[in-house]
Amino acid sequence: MTRPLTAAQRRIVDAADPGTGRLRGTPAQLAALVKRGLAFRHPRPPHDHFLTPAGHRACETEANAAAPELVTAPAATGVFAARVGGEHPAPESGPARLREVRGAWQGMLELRRMTNPDGATDRPCGWERSHLVQAAALALEAAGHRPATDGEGGYRVRETPQPEAVAVYAPDGESLRACAATLEGAGWQVGAYTEPRTRARYLLASPRRV
């Protein structure tokens, strides 16, 4: 579990612009929110600070008193982790999870709009390029693809030695093609390959730049 927001941080988050997530506070306060993954500093002048998807979720969670603390997940966002496939034990699924995933994806689209230089939402943003596995997994899970578990086949997203590229595995050709279509629609460049040793088919996906 991570520490709950301090009173000062709570006031800053509560006062965020409801439309853009823009934040006001002292440099130290804003830097603390950035360190916790709840805010980011816009790369262009005047370098304002905005809530990340995790920040929006933290705001909603604490405002609704659903939980006194943020749940730590194995992702840079701190409160949400897209399922990359093969987690053990497998996270619970159901309506609540579906709402979480949809909310995270909408937050990611908003982050694209705010951080891509031209405001485009049809291609990945800087956060996604620095969190490739989580970003690709979120696009797949949000589109309804089933992640792999111990007992069932599904997609698996894994790191690769290649810069800005992830490998996506699926149990059969149809599932692999469906994953490719989803990633392409989410702004990724995708190619299909075969592993020389195992002959397993997989996708190599990279965030599209233009």
pLDDT per residue over 105-140, tens digit each? 998 999 898 888 888 999 999 889 999 999 999 999
Q: What is the pLDDT of residue 77?
A: 39
The stretch 22-45 carries a mean pLDDT of: 86
CA distances from 208 to 120, 159, 196, 199 (A): 12, 17, 26, 27
Whether the Cβ atoms of residue 123 and residue 135 lie closer than 8 Å to each other: no
H or E, element range at 205: strand 201-207
d(CA 138, CA 196): 28
- In this model, does residue 64 exceed pLDDT 50? no
d(CA 146, CA 84): 10
d(CA 25, CA 40): 13
Name 155's bridge partners: 147
Q: What is the pLDDT of residue 60?
A: 60
The stretch 137-155 carries a mean pLDDT of: 90
The stretch 61-80 carries a mean pLDDT of: 38
- In this model, does residue 57 exceed pLDDT 80? no
Q: Between residues 169 and 1, which one has the greater pLDDT? A: 169
